[in-house]
Amino acid sequence: MERSEAEARHIKLVHGLRIHDHAYYVMANPAISDQEYDRLYRELVDLEKAFPDLMTSDSPTQKVGGKALSSFSPAPHLTPMMSLDNTYSEGEVRDFANRLQKLLPNEKLIFTVEPKIDGVAVNLRYENDRLTIGATRGDGTTGDDITANLKTIRSIPLALHFDAGITGAKKILEVRGEVYFPKQGFAKVNAERVAAGEETFANPRNAAAGSLKQLDSKLVAQRPLDAVFYGIGHSSGYTPISNHQKWLEWLNNSGFKTPERLWVCQNIDEVLTAIHELDTLRKTFRYETDGAVIKLNDLALRERSGVTSKAPRWAMAYKYAAEQAETLLHSISIQVGRTGALTPVAELTPVFLAGSTISRATLHNEDELRRKDVRAGDTVVIEKAGEVIPAVVRVVLEKRTDRAVPFLFPSSCPECGGKVSKEMQAGESGAVLRCTNYFCAAQMRGRIEHWCARGAMDIEGGGEVMARQLVQHGLVKDVSDLYSLTMERLLTLERMGEKSARNFLEGVEISKGRDLWRLLFGLGIFHVGAGGAKSLGRNFAHLDDLAASSVEQLNEIDDVGAVIAQSLHAWFREELNQQLIERLRKAGLNFKSALYKERALVTSGPLSGKTVVLTGTLPTLTREQATEKIEAAGGKVSGSVSKKTDYVLAGEDAGSKLEKAQKLGVHILNESQFLSLLG
Ligand code: IVH
């Protein structure tokens, strides 16, 4: 393809995909099928590979994450990000309106009411309509530059939909909003974290904050984060807008998601009605809404009312009380998980809360338990955190009796008596107390249950009860022992009928042939969830190839970030794990990847999976012809030489690319060598 043709096609694809992204992610109203979208997207990816200089920072291909950072840089905001005055009282909402009316006598005050989104506040700066910096709130004046992470959020426009501006001078806009973790995806991410041996998030807000703190934007791209925008921090060069309602419309037209509902109220009674309406509606929103934000609509009046040291006088947040209940905490137990993590659990007198009866609640970890000073015998307030997992919010101190004794965290594992240690695992935000005995019964049970789980090796009948019995009776120490179980031995277990034993043994037998990714996930390697295991399966033909790869090689795989790469590499270097792999091999388990084969089928050919860089003028082939041949042979053409380049196809007058290839020791081909390679 000629360059000029490529440029024109690039503009068309970028524009088209931007419109489709907006229709899909912002308006929830896709105009084309997923397949059609994927086709356009792939075309853009390929085009940018062939002409790398066409790729700009606002291309839709920039939404998948890039290189991991070592730290975030400070990002000063053009105007401070303030907070809001809060209240739980309707009376104080009336006081707020009265105060404003006194400050602005003779003015007709019109208020807006909108959801208060319980997420993480962010500031996006656009310069000449392109997103340049995205930052957290930080101390209100300066935040962390998390641009790479924010770019992965599909509904955030990398470029504004067109506004001609007022002067032709440089246009700068700061847009304020909230990044959130959708309620729906929350349970799933926690289940995946449990499966990968990671700490769970307490609520969707923590999940959003934890995701945005990741230094590896590729990992962020895998989270279903979304964002809503509700204000402007700074605007210059754009057509002035006189009120909040119009700003939200403008933001929406420019490509942003704005609050689900906006009420425009003529007086304070209408404000209170809107607050009540929002309270019933908010349960249907995709994000947690912990309150209503009441704002003065007119921007000139806002200016006149001014700000206090931390919050504007023209806005206020009314917070809805969370659904809570009081109950007696009769004891605290410790659960030991598959990875040895010790989690304190509150055992409660059953109580009805937000639709279900709760008898246990998580106390998260030792630090949390100490901070709240929760004791057995206390009356506690529990809450459905993020409307999902019940958690203990606080102790009702007025009801504490002398019998309530402080909880002593065990200094050894309550399950096996083994040593516990408090080491921070890579990728974890805090230190977790863990049992260090690999042969702890609780860990063994957990590992077996996880191996048999539907998402892993899918062995029917291998649930919690079976895992407990197998370990308790010493029939199984690790997952490889499942493959030497016999009917006679199984029948020694209590309440084990012949039929269930046969079914279980059959399931175990079938599992020998499962695909590599299931086995990898089943092994329960830290941070390796099902998604990561599938990526590994697509990239390695055999378990041995994976076990032998370096951290750098692992790091280059799509969806495998630095944390996963480190964890995998370390796992395969532990002697106990190597022995386990050998036992599984002996038992006849499949170590080959069908996912890899599927991929190979699509791209089979002499250059399958290889990256080639073209440079200089070839004697007979044009650049397009060479590109076509490389692609037909399953290869990819790249514009720049790196360690990842497999071949450089060099012709006459090849310059710096050839030099770089020589320096890096990349294989260099001339045209006839290239043609004979293709056969
Ligand atoms: S307006 C000058 N509107 O709540 C402050 N804030 O508790 C302007 N928030 O820092 C903020 N939803 O992070 C505004 N619809 C909404 C909001 C909202 C959530 C957050 C925001 C703010 C915090 C204050």
| Distance (Å) from CA 548 to ligand 1 centroid | 50
What whole-number distance in Å separates Cα of residue 142 and Cα of residue 75?
Answer: 5
Minimal CA–CA distance to 171: which of 236, 116, 119? 236
What whole-number distance in Å separates Cα of residue 195 and Cα of residue 189?
Answer: 10
On whether the CB atoms of residues 105 and 133 are closer than 8 A, the answer is no
For 402, other C-beta atoms within 10 Å of its C-beta total 6
The helix (run of H) or strand (run of E) holding residue 284 is none
Q: Is the CB of 143 inside a 6 Å radius of any atom of ligand 1?
A: no
pLDDT at 271 over 60: yes
Per the listing, tokens 């004046």 go with 141
Burial classification of residue 160, based on how many CB atoms lie within 10 Å of its CB (0-12 exposed, 13-18 middle, 19 or more buried): buried
What whole-number distance in Å separates Cα of residue 436 and Cα of residue 447?
Answer: 14
What whole-number distance in Å separates Cα of residue 614 and Cα of residue 440?
Answer: 57
Assigned fold of 516-597: DNA polymerase; domain 1 (1.10.150)
- pLDDT tier at 62, thresholds 50, 70, 90: confident
On whether the CB atoms of residues 62 and 151 are closer than 8 A, the answer is yes
> According to the model, what pLDDT value does residue 282 have?
92
Superfamily classification of domain 604-678: BRCT domain (3.40.50.10190)
pLDDT at 368 over 90: no
- pLDDT tier at 519, thresholds 50, 70, 90: very high
**What is the atom index within ligand 1 of the atom nearest the CA of 312?**
2
- pLDDT tier at 12, thresholds 50, 70, 90: very high
Per the listing, tokens 């992965």 go with 152
Which of 117-151 are b and which e, b meaning 16 or more Cβ less than 10 Å from the residue's Cβ?
bbbbbbbbbbeebebebbbbbbeeebbbbbbbbbb
CA 614 to chain centre: 37
Torsional sign, CA 371, 377, 379, 382: positive
Task: Look up the CATH number of domain 3-62.
Answer: 1.10.287.610
Q: Which two tokens stand for residue 576?
A: 């106990």
Q: Is the CB of 82 inside a 6 Å radius of any atom of ligand 1?
A: yes
**What is the atom index within ligand 1 of the atom nearest the CA of 121?**
13
Residue range 173-179: average pLDDT?
A: 98
Torsional sign, CA 577, 582, 587, 593: positive
Residue of 222 and 177 predicted with greater confidence? 177
| Distance (Å) from CA 626 to ligand 1 centroid | 55
| Distance (Å) from CA 550 to ligand 1 centroid | 45
CA 180 to chain centre: 11
- pLDDT tier at 351, thresholds 50, 70, 90: confident
**SS3 for 489?**
helix
144: number of CA atoms within 13 Å, CB side? 15
Q: Could you name the CATH architecture of 441-511?
A: Orthogonal Bundle (1.10)
Q: Is the CB of 561 inside a 6 Å radius of any atom of ligand 1?
A: no
- Highest mean pLDDT: which of 2-16, 322-336, 409-423, 473-487? 473-487
Strand runs (DSSP E) across 454-542, as ranges? Answer: none
pLDDT at 96 over 90: yes
pLDDT at 603 over 60: no
Task: Kindly list the domain boundaries of the chain, sorted by start residue.
Answer: 3-62, 74-181+225-319, 324-406, 441-511, 516-597, 604-678
**What is the atom index within ligand 1 of the atom nearest the CA of 119?**
19
Q: Is the CB of 84 inside a 6 Å radius of any atom of ligand 1?
A: yes
Q: Is the CB of 117 inside a 6 Å radius of any atom of ligand 1?
A: yes
Q: Is the CB of 121 inside a 6 Å radius of any atom of ligand 1?
A: yes
Q: Which two tokens stand for residue 77?
A: 């905001």
Query: If you average pLDDT over every residue of the chain, what do you get?
Result: 90
Domain 324-406 class, CATH top level: mainly beta
Residue of 247 and 604 predicted with greater confidence? 247
Q: Is the CB of 230 inside a 6 Å radius of any atom of ligand 1?
A: yes
Please confirm, yes or no, whether 384 is among the known catalytic residues.
no
| Distance (Å) from CA 116 to ligand 1 centroid | 6
349-353, 443-447, 587-591, range with the lowest pLDDT? 349-353
Give the closest residue (by CA) to ligand 1 atom 23: 83
Minimal CA–CA distance to 428: which of 197, 129, 116? 197
| Distance (Å) from CA 121 to ligand 1 centroid | 7
481-490, 585-594, 602-611, 617-626, range with the lowest pLDDT? 602-611
Which of 116, 245, 278, 305 has the most ligand 1 atoms within 8 A of CB, as the residue to mutate? 116
**SS3 for 348?**
strand
Q: Which two tokens stand for residue 108?
A: 């007709």
- Fold: same for 3-62 and 74-181+225-319: no
45: number of CA atoms within 13 Å, CB side? 11
pTM score of the predicted model: 0.64
> According to the model, what pLDDT value does residue 145 have?
96
Residue of 309 and 404 predicted with greater confidence? 404
On whether the CB atoms of residues 124 and 177 are closer than 8 A, the answer is yes
Distances from the Cα of 322 to the Cαs of 76, 357, 381, 387, 389, in angstroms?
A: 34, 17, 11, 9, 13
pLDDT at 26 over 90: no
> According to the model, what pLDDT value does residue 323 have?
78
**What is the atom index within ligand 1 of the atom nearest the CA of 114?**
15
- Highest mean pLDDT: which of 64-78, 414-428, 479-493, 612-626? 479-493
Q: Which two tokens stand for residue 520?
A: 């990898």
- pLDDT tier at 31, thresholds 50, 70, 90: confident
- pLDDT tier at 491, thresholds 50, 70, 90: very high
Looking at domain 74-181+225-319, which of 3.30.470.30, 3.40.50.1820, 3.40.50.300, 3.40.50.720 is its CATH number? 3.30.470.30
Q: List, for residues 182-195, the tens digit of each pLDDT value.
A: 988 887 888 787 77
Q: List, for residues 617-645, the tens digit of each pLDDT value.
A: 898 888 878 887 887 787 877 878 888 88
| Distance (Å) from CA 584 to ligand 1 centroid | 54
Catalytic residue among 12, 49, 108, 116: 116
The helix (run of H) or strand (run of E) holding residue 393 is strand 389-395
